[in-house]
Amino acid sequence: MSGESNQRVILLVEDNPDDEALAIRALKRHHIGNQIVVAHDGVEAIDYLFGTGMYAGRDVSLKPTVVLLDLKLPRIDGFEVLRRIRENEATRLLPVVVLTTSNEEQDLLNSYSLGCNSYIRKPVDFLQFSEAIRQLGMYWLLMNEPPPL
């Protein structure tokens, strides 16, 4: 692990500003003091990960600890983002948690087929949602040993 990576980053890919605010609120409430980078659609997410577009010149060796990925996104959707992450040698082991509203069988199948590490359905109840975020943070940021990228 490189010395710079003590600054752990969560990449939240979310186009709905309410969901973004609620997710950030939940993370903060549970003192998951990581830096949260928000990409508002698939293109932004890919630009961040590969240092292109609005993130041109970013040091891409600094990778997020986990990507929280919504599926329904403007421009490039979540499946496509996931596919590109898994396709690219530099990011293929990156932990990706699908965080979405749908529990359609087809979405679950597609997500796991493309290699997501986890699939969470956003509950309507904020307390449940907050609890899900807390567990996610605990698990992926504190308990899980990330791949040696």
Partner 1 sequence: MNPERLARIRDLCRDEVAFEQLQQLLSEEKQPLEQEICHALFQVEQQKTLFSVITRLREFLDLETIFRATAAEVRQLLAADRVGMFRFYPNSGWNDGEFVSEAVDPEFPSAIAHKIHDHCFGDQFAIHYQEGRVQNVADIHNAGLSDCHIEILSRFQVQANLVVPLLQGRHLWGLLCIHQCRTPRQWQETEIEFVQQIAGHLGVALQHAELMAELRAEVAERQQAEQRAQELNQGLRQAIVELKAVNRELEAFSYSVSHDLRAPLRSIDGFSQALLEDCLDQLDTTGQDYLRRIRSASQRMGQLIDDLLTLSRVTRSDMRREAVDLSQLASRICTQLQHAQPDRQVEFVIQTGLVTQGDVRLLQVVLENLLNNAWKFTSRQMQGKIEFGAIQANAAAPENGIPIYFVRDDGVGFDMAYVDKLFKPFQRLHRMHEFPGNGIGLATVQRVVHRHGGRVWAEGTSEQGATFYFTLAEESVGA
Which residues of the shown chain bind partner 1 in the complex (CB under 8 A)?
A: 16, 18-19, 22, 25, 72, 100-104, 122-127, 129-130
Least distance to partner 1, CB of residue 124, Å = 3
Looking at beta carbons only, is 47 or 131 nearer to partner 1?
131
Cα(113)–Cα(132) distance, integer angstroms: 23
Torsion of the alpha carbons at 15, 12, 98 and 60, rounded to the nearest 10? 120
Looking at beta carbons only, is 15 or 47 nearer to partner 1?
15
CB atoms closer than 10 angstroms to residue 55: 17
Looking at beta carbons only, is 20 or 47 nearer to partner 1?
20
Looking at beta carbons only, is 72 or 92 nearer to partner 1?
72
Least distance to partner 1, CB of residue 34, Å = 21
Least distance to partner 1, CB of residue 19, Å = 7
Cα(50)–Cα(85) distance, integer angstroms: 9
Cα–Cα separations (whole angstroms), residue 94 to 31, 79, 84, 103: 23, 15, 11, 23
